[in-house]
């Protein structure tokens, strides 16, 4: 397996993956140009990861010579899971979610209700909606809680 804890040298790639995925997946839902193309900048995101050792210590990258994706875990929660769009559908997301569950003990996550593609992915990997919904902070969109269920 090519998954390891993130290092400072990884933050520019992590930020690049996060920003591109955020724009691709969330801009169509929120239509917030100011956030997606103003506030959401690679340099700013990278600086946040550089300055926050605790946050960076909770990030694990899929690195086989190229960082292709990452998962961020806090306690039992998967906070973020992104794969570079050029490398999706190659088992990288499955490896990252498997790592989060089997190695780090992740049990739940929150997904944007309108992000059906992500919800289908999580369901394929044993996470299922609990029925619990909350508003995404500062928006009118809902997040759904999904928990891990073994069958």
| Beta-bridge mates of residue 73 | 78
Query: What is the pLDDT averaged over residues 4-27?
Result: 94
The average confidence (pLDDT) of the chain is 93
50-102 confidence digits (pLDDT tens): 998 888 999 999 999 999 999 999 999 999 999 999 999 999 999 999 999 99
pLDDT recorded at residue 151 = 44
pTM: 0.91
**pLDDT of amino acid 66:** 96
Q: Is the pLDDT of residue 104 over 50?
A: yes
What is the reported pLDDT for 32? 86
Banded pLDDT at 30 (limits 50, 70, 90): confident
Q: Give the alpha-carbon dihedral of 84, 87, 93, 95, to 10 degrees.
A: -120
| pLDDT at res. 111 | 95
Provide the pLDDT confidence category of residue 1 given band limits of 50, 70 and 90. low
65's tokens = 């010579």
Question: In the β-sheet with 142-148, what is the strand arrangement from edge to edge?
Answer: 3-5, 59-63, 67-74, 77-83, 108-112, 142-148, 127-135
* Residue 115 clears pLDDT 80, i.e. is over it: yes
């Amino acid at each position: 397996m090519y998954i390891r804890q993130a290092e400072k040298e990884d933050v520019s790639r992590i930020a690049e993956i996060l920003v591109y995925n955020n724009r691709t997946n969330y801009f169509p839902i929120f239509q917030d140009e100011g956030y997606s193309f103003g506030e959401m900048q690679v340099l700013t995101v990278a600086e946040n990861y550089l300055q926050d050792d605790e946050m960076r210590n909770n990030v694990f990258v899929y690195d086989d010579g190229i960082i292709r994706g990452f998962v961020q875990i806090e306690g039992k929660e998967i906070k973020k899971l992104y794969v570079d769009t050029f490398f999706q559908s190659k088992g990288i997301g499955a490896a990252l979610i498997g790592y989060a569950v089997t190695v780090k003990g992740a049990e739940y996550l929150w997904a944007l209700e309108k992000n059906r593609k992500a919800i289908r992915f999580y369901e394929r990997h044993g996470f299922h909606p609990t029925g619990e919904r909350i508003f995404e902070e500062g928006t009118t969109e809902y997040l759904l809680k999904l928990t891990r269920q073994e069958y």
